[in-house]
Amino acid sequence: MKTLEFGEQVGHVLSGGDVLALTGGDLGAGKTLLTRGIALGLGIPAEQVNSPTFTLIQAYESQTPVIHVDLYRLEDPSAIFQLGLEDYFTPQNIVIIEWADRLLKALPPDYLAIHLEHGDTETIRHLTVRGTGPRGTHIVTALRHTNIEHHPLTNS
């Protein structure tokens, strides 16, 4: 299954208040591509989604606003808290955080963790999806019903 398609399936099961923590891999592991797919599943054109590496936070308008955060360039943990990221954790928003391993302590207790890694070739990705609370677990269950769990992902 392609990373974009998987992301689109994830987007179909999300609702306001959901937080996604994308971790793992290095640059090029597919975090932004996955985010594009999620946005597509939420009705946001994929071409509108770019990595907010320099702006750190990008908002996309849709029926449920999507807040896209990229913490790659943020090395100082205190700077993460100065962003006011917790203000985005509301029932009105879906928050997707790339490089979330840099702020795991600041995440709400209930989120969807998606860990991406390079596979055997440069175009194959492997991922692990885990819910950390009731809503995150519900999302994982919903994804299982779409028969997409444990498929290797291609970077396209």
Domain count, the chain: 1
Can you give the pLDDT at residue 26?
67
Domain that residue 97 falls in: 3-154
pTM: 0.87
Q: What is the CATH number of the domain that holds 69?
A: 3.40.50.300
pLDDT by residue for the chain (156 residues), tens only, comes to 588 888 999 999 999 999 999 988 666 567 888 899 999 999 999 888 887 666 788 889 888 999 999 888 777 767 766 777 888 899 999 999 998 888 888 889 999 999 887 776 666 667 889 999 999 999 999 988 775 544 444 443
Burial 125-156 (b: 16+ CB within 10 A, else e): bbbebebbeebbebbbeebeeeeeeeeebbbe
